[in-house]
Amino acid sequence: GLSEKLQNAFKNLRGKGQISEADLRITMREIRLALLDADVNFTVVRDFVKKVQNQAKGEKVLEGLNPGQQIVKIVDDELTAMMGGSATELTKAPKIPTVIMMVGLQGAGKTTTVGKLAKRLKQDEHARPLLIAADVYRPAAIDQLEQVGKQIDVPVFSEGTDVDPVQIVQDGLAQARENHNDYVFIDTAGRLQIDEKLMHELEEIKTVSHPNDILLVVDAMTGQNAVETAQGFNEDLNLTGVILTKLDGDTRGGAALSIKAVTGKPILFTGQGEKMTDLDVFHPDRMASRILGMGDVLSLVEKTQKNVDEQKAQELAEKMRENSFNFDDFLDQLQQIQNMGPLKDIMAMIPGMANNPALKNVEMDPKDLERIKAMIYSMTNEERENPDVLNPSRRRRIARGSAQPIQSVNRMIKQFDQMKKMMNQVSNGNMAGMENMMQA
């Protein structure tokens, strides 16, 4: 998939103290191919690569990040920007009802998504939505919306299939005003392809209903077609946003990446399944990280900087160089890691680690920290400074002294050794080494 290809593209930058133009060129070539392969629009890819290249050349390497991480960060930032930067919310009408018109091709997921959104608003804001059945071309469409309404306990306004949809929308809005519904969703008809008759009808509905949002529902599985569809609908209706459905399926990600860049309209939500709860707010930054599959390098650095005392960090670096990392340092580290939050979360922010199965076993329970403390406090100064002296009889003594089973003592010493190795890898800026260690 796209994530794997992108991660591969970064591989030749890993652990390098400096990145040459040639390195960068190879990486950018691979990124370009990965994006094109994922069905990202050609011009979007070209602009994207240009932006990343310019930034990579212009930017000085941030302290605390190695050059490879720096490029990952630039790519992450640019992907985020390409998808619109931050999440976009629904537009609220100054006076109720807020009118949301849903449009899209047949089968894209309009009716389902109307239900998902209404349910969400009901839950989040105790909203009282009304759903208008304006798809009169298929009798089953009205039944479907009525079933959705029943499922989420939201009223549906319909006048059957014999009334003009524009009239239905007007009547539905009148009822909503009368009943003080705060949201109105208009579930419109779709065709297999964009055609003039449909567009004309949608324009008329828009004229009479003054929607606060016109949301296009597109199927992510259709890749480039989703982007073309968005372009078509946007030209005629001037959309306010897009909802990308079926992201739970086997999509290549191209639609999510291209829609904003091509149409200028943001994605507000994504559909992740057929159930009424399978709707997520679209966060460009999270999506970028998900696509990169590398977590967020910068937030790791930020988090580290916030929590690790400068002085201590320097002392630690010194010890790394002397290779004299001892149990007191180990305790310090565990304490700091605990202050940062679950070890698992921290690890997940390291590039390439997010999907690492080894992470399942990395858990730092506060009780564990207490037990580890007890064991380290049961050591003599000599043992703390000089882990090599810990022979079986000393280990048994520590177990007795801390009231822990001998297995726990052995495990703790093993963890210490692992952390020592990991510290070495990190201090050498060698992420690949660290990954190998975690997989061991």
Residue 249 near which of ligand GDP, Mg ion, none (CB within 5-8 Å, type-dependent): ligand GDP
**Is residue 139 within 8 Å of 161, Cβ to Cβ?**
yes
| Among 90, 113, 89, 146, CA closest to 272 | 113
Contact map string, positions 277 to 296, toward ligand GDP, x by CB under 6 A: -x------------------
Q: Choose the one of ligand GDP, Mg ion, none that binds residue 245, judging by a C-beta under 5 to 8 angstroms depending on kind.
A: ligand GDP
Give the integer Cα–Cα distance in Å for 181 and 131: 10
Strands 183-188, 98-103: pairing kind: parallel
- Report the 3 state secondary structure along 9-20: HHHCCCCCCCCC
Q: Which of residues 50-69 bind ligand GDP (CB under 6 A)?
A: none
Rule CB under 5 A: say whether 110 interacts with Mg ion.
yes
CB 436 within 8 A of CB 352: no
**Which residues are bridge partners to 131 per DSSP?**
156, 185
Position with the least CB separation from ligand GDP: 271
Out of 85, 160, 249, 341, name the contact with ligand GDP by CB under 6 A.
Answer: 249
CA angle 76, 79, 80 (to 5 degrees): 85
110 binds ligand GDP (CB under 6 A): yes
State the number of binding residues for Mg ion (CB under 5 A): 3
Pairing mode, strands 156-157 and 183-188: unpaired
112 binds ligand GDP (CB under 6 A): yes
Please answer whether residues 146 and 156 qualify as being in contact, where contact means their C-beta atoms are separated by less than 8 angstroms.
yes
Residues 257 and 83: beta-carbon distance below 8 Å: yes
Respond yes or no on whether the N-terminal peptide bond of residue 97 is cis (omega within 30° of 0): yes
What's the CA gap between 88 and 268, in Å, rounded? 5
Binding positions for ligand GDP, 201-220, rule CB under 6 A: 217
Closer Cβ to ligand GDP, 67 or 109, answer by number: 109
Stretch that binds ligand GDP, among 43-51, 171-179, 233-241, 270-278 (CB under 6 A): 270-278
Q: Which of the 8 DSSP states describes residue 78? A: H
The binder of ligand GDP chosen from 108, 239, 298, 300 (CB under 6 A): 108
Q: Is 111 in the site for Mg ion (CB under 5 A)?
A: yes
Asked if 276 interacts with ligand GDP (CB under 6 A), we say no
Binding partner of 109, given ligand GDP, Mg ion, none, CB within 5-8 angstroms per partner class: ligand GDP
* Least separation in angstroms between CB 250 and Mg ion: 23
**Residues in the site for Mg ion, rule: CB under 5 A?**
110-111, 141
Binding site for ligand GDP (CB under 6 A): 104, 106-112, 144, 190, 217, 245-246, 248-249, 271-274, 278
